Amino acid sequence: MMLEVNHVRKSFDSAEVLKDVSISVEKGEVVSILGPSGSGKTTLLRCMNFLERADSGEMIFDGRRIDLAAASDREIAAIRKKTAFVFQNYNLFLNKNALQNVTEGLVIARKMDRAKADEIGRQALAKVGMLDWKDSYPSQLSGGQQQRVAIARAIAVDPEIIYFDEPTSALDPELTGEVLDVMRTLADDGMTMLVVTHEMGFARNVSSKVCFMEGGVVVESGTPEKIFGDPEKDRTREFLGILEKEQ
């Protein structure tokens, strides 16, 4: 098992958002987390990269055990250098152009030589089809283009896993496709991905495992065939049924 988190708990004030959640990802796997708003799926992802501090829980990453509630700054920095995060609203650095957005983490955080970083940055932008826009600032790009640059920024650091937090939720349907295409390419290349999403098509066709979360717990998880074809729990069936009717 490449990455797993066990018994994660997190409360905001009195609201318990995560109630003993465990999840695991194998190398090369694409795991989709589905669930209604407020189910805790985004919070889980944020706890795994320490953007939120879990109240309790453990992480096992590359065979090393880390206490999610008590991890030191050094442990957190080490984990962040092996992971990447794609946000719902892109969060590209507004004062940097597309190429600089991709190289910033290489040059500044990893002290990579500028020329080498630029080369990696160009490759990453080419991979997401954004090389022609390398000198554009985020304000000059559409949402879908910004998200593709954000994905280039994520793959440039050669992470062991990329977390995606609803990467297409801020995009209109026309732009969703270009981002999902890029994600599908990454999956085909064997990138390990943990994806919080409402895109049923992506979850069903691209992921190797699907987790359904609700009310701060994992209700059910399994292969997409099982979750979409013959879920065990009524609640899963109900949620997927509703979504499929909407589509």
Partner 1 sequence: MSERLINIIIDSFWKILLPGLKMTVPLTVISFAIAMVIAVLCALAQFADIKPLKPVIRFYIWVIRGTPLLVQLYVLFYGLPNIGITLDPFPSAVIVFAINEGAYASETIRAALESVPSGQIEAGYCVGMSYFQIMRRIVLPQAFRTAFPTLGNELISMVKDTSLAANITVMEMFMATQRIVARTYEPLALYIEVGVIYLIFSTVLTRLQRYGEKRLAFYGRR
Q: Which of 11, 72, 140, 223 binds partner 1 (CB under 8 A)?
A: 140
Find the angle CA(124)-CA(129)-CA(131) to the nearest 5 degrees: 65
In this structure, are residues 220 and 236 in contact, taking their beta carbons and an 8 Å threshold?
A: yes
Least gap, CB of 240 to partner 1 (angstroms): 31
Spatial contact of 213 and 219, defined as CB atoms under 8 Å apart: yes
- Strand bridging mode 15-25 / 56-61: unpaired
Handedness of CA 13, 19, 20, 25 (dihedral sign): negative
User: Does position 12 bind partner 1 by CB under 8 A?
Assistant: no
110 forms part of the interface with partner 1 (CB under 8 A): yes
Instruction: Please state, in angstroms and rounded to a whole number, the distance separating the CA atoms of residues 104 and 118.
Output: 10
Minimum distance of partner 1 from residue 85's CB (angstroms): 4
Nearer to partner 1, 11 or 140 (CB): 140
Comparing CB distances to partner 1, the nearer of 55 and 104 is 104
Give the contact letters, 28-67, x = binds to partner 1 (CB under 8 A), - = no: ---------------------xxx----------------
Does 145 contact partner 1 by CB under 8 A?
Answer: no
Smallest gap from Cβ 21 to partner 1, in A, equals 21
Residue 97 or residue 145: which is nearer to partner 1 going by CB? 97
Tell me which residue of 227, 225, 92 sits closest to 170, measured CA to CA.
92
Q: How far is the CB of 230 from partner 1 (least distance, A)?
A: 37
Which of the residues 166 through 195 are near partner 1 (CB under 8 A)? Answer: none
- C-alpha dihedral, 57 to 10 to 20 to 15, nearest 10°: 160
Max Cα distance, the chain (Å): 55
Which listed range, 20-28, 57-65, 106-114, 189-197, lies at the site for partner 1 (CB under 8 A)? Answer: 106-114
> Is the CB of residue 32 less than 8 Å from the CB of residue 195?
yes
User: Measured on CA atoms in the order 237, 238, 242, 245, is the torsion positive or negative?
Assistant: positive
* Contact pattern for partner 1 over residues 73 through 102, marking x by CB under 8 A: ----x--xx-xxx-x-x-xxxxxxx-----
Tell the smallest beta-carbon distance from residue 117 to partner 1 (Å): 12
Which DSSP symbol is given to 217?
E
Shortest Å distance, C-beta 245 to partner 1: 33
For position 137 contacting partner 1 by CB under 8 A, the verdict is yes
User: Which letter does DSSP use for residue 110 in this model?
Assistant: S
Q: Enumerate binding residues for partner 1 (CB under 8 A).
A: 49-51, 77, 80-81, 83-85, 87, 89, 91-97, 104-105, 108-110, 137-140, 153, 157
